[in-house]
Structure 1
């Protein structure tokens, strides 16, 4: 027989069964423990403080997460490392989850012991109850718990659902590219026809100062604009305004064309040896106000000379004020003509050759642009009787607004607008020669990555889980007061709670009988010890 000795009192031997060992139990020590366990209506201060502190720590992590995300909201990612932003946000979310689950776990333990005091449960249900909080999810489907330990089971279910909040909240801080506008002064190319020192890039250089027509650069620009139907040169800017998109406006004085159309009264000759689709002719008209000669362009065009009379296009140049909006980005540039105001006819001195030194520089510069435009539009586009296109004397056959068709003819598309726009494109392209520069206000738009905080999702999720934790804490504190002692699910606590001969006898019937046996927790009527047993084992 095995015996345990006490240094203070002699033990009393209790024999549970002839087939079991005899265990020595110090009844006075057990009685002292019983008194401390079974006193109800009193709170354990340290357990209450610990549960509350864990709740406050979790709420603090949530507040810190909100403050951290609010600090980063709208800031460029270059100001705070993205990896650390993710690490800190995830750490705070996990801190909230861990602290709140710890507080809820302690409250759950108090409610478990209150449930087993008030209700009789099967041992199988007790197995599920002790493992329901973060253990085996199958424990949540024990039917007996829904009848006898509903509140404790609800706390366990909430504990399983609470970590969902940590899935959504780290994603509330995301990165999005935005356009950041800024305004600054920048140096841009412009066109100043009043300055005759163009280095031979607008007016053809002449040793004796006579005007000899447009420069080779302007002629190339005119031909390229005719081919493409748009401006030919980029108007690059210089300065500190660098971004994804830079916009600025220019005001320049340059020539523009005003054109009109009318139907020709020329009789159609179906038996003509040759037919002309396009005929461009230059002429001059005298301006009665200034006494100057104004160059004129007259064009006769028709898609089918044998059946349709030509349309007469007449164009006159004017000195005009251009308002231009220029937009640059990484791959493209765009021009918008904000306004165009025609001021006066672009005339020339009558009866004499223009002089680059004596005559107005604006008129000589305008003359170069006008002559380059008119030169590529004059000449003929003619076909013989056999349908062969004769060698054209005009570059207009290359124009973007003229295209041949399958009937040995030509299609003309918006000729009036295209000719007026050609003059405008040549002027804009001349800006890109970078002869002259001026300061302008540039609106630079940089595309940067910034942090964006979805405040509503994080606050809603955290408020919900903190409210659940507060309600759980209240349940736990109430259960602690009813129990009179801090309960736990430790091994030592289970050992103390199962010291009952009734349970020893039930174990002899095997596991199935034990699982079906219904017990509750209370003070045994035999010796006052707290333990699990049958309802008739208690007072």
Structure 2
């Protein structure tokens, strides 16, 4: 052990040698035996111990071999760097601590001024005890930017006038015994180069969680697509939660990767404190993006931070990928019990036995025997029933088939629309054009009028002969009960010898004016084309496409097949009586007996034809400037109201009008011919349904996932380059800012309040190896300290180098035992003369 020579209070005495228990300390050797120390105590004057008063000189330990450490910082330098370039290193020693159970130490509360202490005014500014503040100043004098008197060839680590005290040289003791035990236990710790699995695993797990969230979001919306939009609020909440989960995972992965990147940046580049603040807070404060130095020195890290703000946009877009829209869905099904027509039932209808075929017949009959008891009795046709008149007239006036109120519900089921085919056999007119302006010949056609009667030659724009050889009504006299009176001819009573042929002639106004020299120009102005066609009643097979949309009925004929004439006879003038017509052959007459079924079916068809013919007979002529109408065709859609001319395609429209009458019969379920049938149908339903727009979800998510994956690779590479996985938590900031220079720079700003001193924000720092005194430290060789520091006092961190902490704290524990022994010896030496005087 070294001795401390005493210059006062008696002769110098040598304290007894004590042997401390062997201990291993991190690096620094104990204080040199020849180190002069100056002490100030409350009861003593300035005391020189092994040196000149007021000065302390560190012993030269000599330069050690580079082989003493396996890895060292790559930079070499001639001397220790001092950012303040002090000409001297002086240790100002505070009072020697003497602790008792009743006092907490000078660090905890102010110490009373010693009676023999020197006033601050009496000390020169170049002494170690001088107050650096000017007289009357209330704050510390600012540290100068440069030393006006640098000493060439030497760098001081401590600074201009060192503020270290005797306490700082002695073993620091905290008042917290638990903390002190931890300090003692960690005194010999070495920083470990190890990439802990936790941070990389969290980065990967968050990215994978984000991808799984994207897939879950996709499949969730896919399961809702096309389904009724029920519980919309709940579904939207689920979607929003998934979007938030994806955003949280991907942003979390990016931010953790970003933190690894900025630590790599801190090692590579020195940046001002303002830029470092920006990198630490830009993921939380977007205003930091205006920091130009941060953008310039850390482009990739800034891009990562920017993407951490932009990725949440994907979580905003993704819930919008599911919308609620009116959508029509189609299903192939069977429509059951749809309305149909079965005219065969009319064949078996007997008004005497309505229970067999309930409902209303299309025909009213007369009879020869109401009781049906006499021989040879039969029923014969009288007129169309009131029901058929009502239905057909309704159809004509509507200009389309009439619809039963609940037709769509009955056919399609409530809430659905449907389309289905409907087939039945009924009456129809087979029409053929027999003459026009190009082929006006009517030879051997038995046409009741000539084409010359039509415009432009004649004045008729429409004329029809639809009653030739029609069924005569009444056939014979009847009583009030409809029974034929005696005197009728049973062979001809009620016989259908022919079905009137429809002879229709009309003129088409082409809207093209006649030439100037035409004789028709003065009356007609425009060219007129006359046409004549005839229509013969047939048994016809129909196929319609029935479409119900809500309550609207749309009917399209898809097929029509004419089977045979209703009555296959030919009508001509009677040679014996020119005013009468004769139908031949007689064998094709349809009689009420004995073929009752055929007769009643023919009567039903005839009744419907009669209803159609009621609107066709008559004529329309034009005598300038008037149109004269003598036909009910003006009440139908077969005539153009604005011109009083028939429609150009009159032949087709005439057939269509009869078909409208037939479809209208479907609206009356109480007819004898009303039937029900099952048909294949295509149902549709328009509902508010969920619609999944896949591109709306995947465009945002795909970009977010790809960007997050790219930054995951950046974070992984940064961890590999750094050699450790780190974070921006307070604990990491605490252990990486242990630097005396930073401690002194922070004077006056320890509260951390705003505004922060601007001169500090412009100070450039980087994370590197702090340049300290080169000393040999045990078997580990050179052990250095990594921290934030100024650019000149730090060098680059070498991966897998040996780093621990600040040198002064690594040596404190080693110095503790020697300091305790010397303090004890010093106290004994001080008290020994007093004890001798008392004796």
Q: TM-score normalized by structure 2?
A: 0.54
Shift of 1:244: 3.5
CA contact (8 A) 1:52 1:103 kept: yes
Counterpart Cα distance in 1 of 2:412 and 2:678: 12
Structure 1 equivalent of residue 759 of structure 2: 513
Q: 1:473 to 1:212 in 2, by over 3 A?
A: same
Q: CA deviation at 1:187?
A: 0.9
CA distance in 2, matches of 1:477, 1:524: 27
Of the candidates 466, 490, 496, which is equivalent to residue 705 of structure 2? 466
Deviation for aligned residue 1:514:
1.8
**Local SS of the residue matching 1:256:** strand
User: In the TM superposition, what whole-angstrom CA distance separates every residue of 1:377-424 from its partner, at most 9, and x where no partner exists?
Assistant: 22455789995858x4x4233232234668xx7555433223222222
Evaluate the alpha carbon distance shift between residue 506 and residue 233 of structure 1 in structure 2; reply closer, same or farther with a 3 A threshold.
Answer: closer
Check if 1:257 corresponds to 2:429: yes
Contact 2:339 2:411 (8 Å CA) reproduced: no
> Equivalent residue for 1:59?
211
Equivalent residues of 2:453, 2:460 under 8 A apart: no
Which of residues 786, 789, 807 in structure 2 aligns to 1:533?
Answer: 789
1:138 aligns with 2:287: yes
User: Could you say which residue in structure 2 is the equivalent of 1:282?
Assistant: 467
1:440 aligns to 2:686 (yes or no): no
Change (3 A) 1:188 1:46: closer
Distance change >3 Å, CA 398–CA 261, structure 1 → 2: farther
Distance in 2, matches of 1:15 and 1:376, equals 131
Q: Which moved more, 1:442-451 or 1:207-216?
A: 442-451
SS in 1 for 2:726: coil
1:47 aligned residue (195, 199, 203): 199
Task: Tell me which residue corresponds to 1:171.
Answer: 320
**Could you say which residue in structure 2 is the equivalent of 1:503?**
742
Structure 1 residues 385, 98: CA separation in 2 closer, same or farther (over 3 Å shift)?
Answer: closer
Match of 1:212 in 2: 382
Structure-2 separation of matches of 1:359 and 1:167: 75
CA contact (8 A) 2:464 2:502 kept: no
Residue in 2 that maps onto 1:119 = 269
CA offset digits 1:358-395 (Å, max 9, x no partner): 251321211111222223322455789995858x4x42
Query: Which residue of structure 2 aligns with residue 424 of structure 1?
Result: 659
Q: 2: CA distance between counterparts of 1:59 and 1:143?
A: 34
Judged with a 3 Å threshold, the aligned counterparts in structure 2 of structure 1 residues 250 and 65 are, in CA distance, closer, same or farther, namely closer
For residues 64 and 17 of structure 1, do their structure 2 counterparts lie closer, same or farther at Cα, with a shift above 3 Å needed? farther
| Unaligned 5+ runs, structure 1 | none
Structure 2 counterpart of 1:159, from 286, 308, 314: 308
Deviation at 1:211, TM superposition (A): 0.7
The answer to whether the aligner puts 1:334 opposite 2:572 as a matched pair is: no
Deviation at residue 212 of structure 1 after TM alignment: 0.5
Match of 1:230 in 2: 400
- 8 Å Cα contact 2:766-2:794 kept in structure 1: no
1:95 alignment partner, one of 229, 245, 250: 245
1:323 to 543, 561, 566: 543
Displacement of 1:183: 0.8
- CA deviation vs aligned residue, 1:265-314 (integer Å, no higher than 9, x gap): 476699xxx9895353411499xxxx953322334556899888975443
- What's the counterpart of residue 523 of structure 1? 769
Distance 2:285 2:689 in 1: 43
Superposition deviation, residue 529 in structure 1 = 4.4
Match in the other structure for 2:362: 202
Pair 1:412–1:130, CA change in 2 (3 A) = closer
Q: Relative to structure 1, is the Cα distance of residues 60 and 36 closer, same or farther in structure 2, using a 3 angstrom cutoff?
A: farther
CA distance in 1, matches of 2:533, 2:219: 71
Is the Cα contact below 8 Å between 1:381 and 1:397 reproduced in 2? no
Distance 1:98 1:18, change over 3 A: farther
Deviation at 1:35, TM superposition (A): 5.6
CA distances 1:332-360 after superposition (whole Å, capped 9, x unpaired): 11111111111111118777874698251
**Is the CA contact 2:313–2:700 (under 8 Å) kept in the aligned structure 1?**
no
Cα distance in 2 for residues equivalent to 1:461 and 1:184: 44
- 3-state SS, counterpart of residue 255 of structure 1: strand
Partner in structure 2 of residue 246 of structure 1: 418
Give the Cα–Cα distance (whole angstroms) in 1 for the partners of residues 130 and 735 of structure 2.
16
Please give the secondary structure, in 2, of the residue aligned with 1:155. helix
Between 112-121 and 524-533, report the one with greater CA deviation.
524-533
Distance 1:465 1:383 in 2: 79
Offset of residue 206 of structure 1: 3.6
Q: 1:387 to 1:427 in 2, by over 3 A?
A: same
**TM-score, with normalisation over the residues of structure 1?**
0.80
> Alpha-carbon deviation of 1:29?
4.7
Unaligned runs of 5+ in 2: 1-93, 109-127, 134-139, 141-162, 173-181, 350-357, 369-378, 441-448, 472-495, 510-519, 569-585, 749-755, 774-783, 796-839
Distance in 2 separating the partners of 1:12 and 1:29: 18
**Equivalent residue, structure 1, for 2:224:** 72
Deviations 1:156-210 (A, max 9, x none): 1222222222122222333442322131241122222221237444112445522
Specify whether residues 17 and 83 from structure 1 end up closer, same or farther in structure 2 by C-alpha distance, changes over 3 A only: farther
Residue matched to 1:487: 726
Kept in 2: contact 1:180–1:448 (CA 8 A): no
Distance 1:419 1:105 in 2: 79
470-479 or 101-110, which deviates more: 470-479
Instruction: State whether residues 454 and 507 of structure 2, in contact with CA within 8 Å, keep that contact through their aligned partners in structure 1.
Output: no
1:401 equivalent in alignment to 2:586:
no
CA distance in 1, matches of 2:470, 2:676: 36
Distance 1:376 1:421 in 2: 14
Q: Distance in 2 between matches of 1:431 and 1:454?
A: 43
Q: What corresponds to 1:414 in structure 2?
A: 649
Deviation per CA, 1:484-535: give whole Å up to 9, x if none.
Answer: 5553333454444444343355567982322222221223223754432223
